[in-house]
Amino acid sequence: MSDQNEQQIRQNKLDNLIKAGMHPYPEKFDKQYDLSACPELKEGISLSTAGRLIMFRDMGKITFAHLQDSSGKFQVVFKKDVVGDNEYKLFIKNIDLGDHIGIEGEIFTTQKGEISILVRKWTFLGKALLPLPEKWHGLKDREIAYRQRYLDLISNQETMKRFEFRSDFIRTLREFYWLKGFYEVETPTLLHSATGAHATPYKTHNNALDIDVFLRISHELPLKELIVGGFDKVFEIGKAFRNEGHDPSHLPEHTHLEHYCAYWNYEDNMKFTEEMIEYVFDKLKISRQLTIKDRDGQEKIVDFTTPFERINFIELIKKDTGIDITKVRDTEKLLKKIQDKKIVIDGMEDMGYASLVDNLYKKVSRPKMVGPAFLYFYPIELQPLARRNDKDKNIVDQFQLVINGWEIIKAYSELVDPLDQEQRFKQQAELKQSGDNETMEGDPDYITAMKYGMPPISGWGMGVDRMITILTGQENLRDTVLFPLMRSSSEDQK
């Protein structure tokens, strides 16, 4: 049967309910209990509850049905001699799977020993004019799940639990920050320049001011300006936008968490990260050992027991490639070394030094990392916003937390010298003019803020979607984002 025919049949049933005096879209219903609470109630207790009808089986004078809400599902039983002949027939003939109903009744045990609700009165709460999907399997159905997440949530209790976990995870992060004395703040999504990370931005136009603006790719610079203004500890959870390709670990719109703390360095943030992991895992009762699939689909055990391993970034590349990037600081020479090692990186002939180093690591070293591990000691070219190491001016005080080959957290001791920062922005601009599109944009307004004086600062950022994907055992960020960006259905059909 086509959806159009099915919809007409269901519409006719809705008309019948209206003719019987039922409101087609009632205002509310007095729901006393979630369905998950019903099994704990004593037999004989009267109650009201409500949910979506996901199963019913008519046996003539008795009908067994299952209702579902966000907490779970529960069996309800309709008996003709209890609800009355007219009400029973009205229900059997006009209610479909997917409809919302409210029921009033009492807890009892069926002959087969199943705790259920014996319905004494039912109330129509909403008609599903389209049928619910019957089965979910294969790539095609995953595409539907991403486009119509509401169907995925209805059909798969595991999906609902995953997104409840996401909400609990974000709430627990906030609790941890509050315990540590941080203030939650909000900074602009529309910026004059897209800076704070290496990424291609989305550009738009504001008609009222007649200016071009960019969707932020990072929260970083406004948050550090708040440190200039006198905040010591700030954090923000919000969207960041990067005009990049889709793959299991990248989405153009993602949830980003950043914090900045005055008087800290990057090592303080390493300790903070481990404390956060311990707090969240304890609060949410997450096992320290999780089974996760790597990029090749092989299962790996990731042990989140702290302290985490610390790995020198420069030594890691040297071990994996034989290239010492502290001794090869010229773009052409580094490219020649990579080619001599027969390492192939897409587009490497057009990359600048920083992009070459970063992509060399991503090609050779990162896929093999299980972690969690702190990578530290990065060449200064890779992070124009980080503070130089006191012992080696070519290194910045930065770390990344890598889990299963995914970069989950990045943090560093912030560069607070405005003249050094201004010079690095100029170098980035020169690289961009030479054709390296992965360089970072500068921001003169930020330089002005820096010149009013900054204390020592360490900043920290987490890809929230990535962390949740790891913790829930998923392999694709789309499975932990309620509404991932997709082509429209009409575009897919062209």
Which residue ranges are tagged as binding site?
407
Q: Which residues are annotated as a binding site for Mg(2+)?
A: 407
CA–CA gap between residue 128 and residue 35 (Å, rounded): 20
CA–CA gap between residue 128 and residue 100 (Å, rounded): 8
Closest CA to 221 of 395, 418, 45, 373: 418
Q: Which amino acid is at 158?
A: E
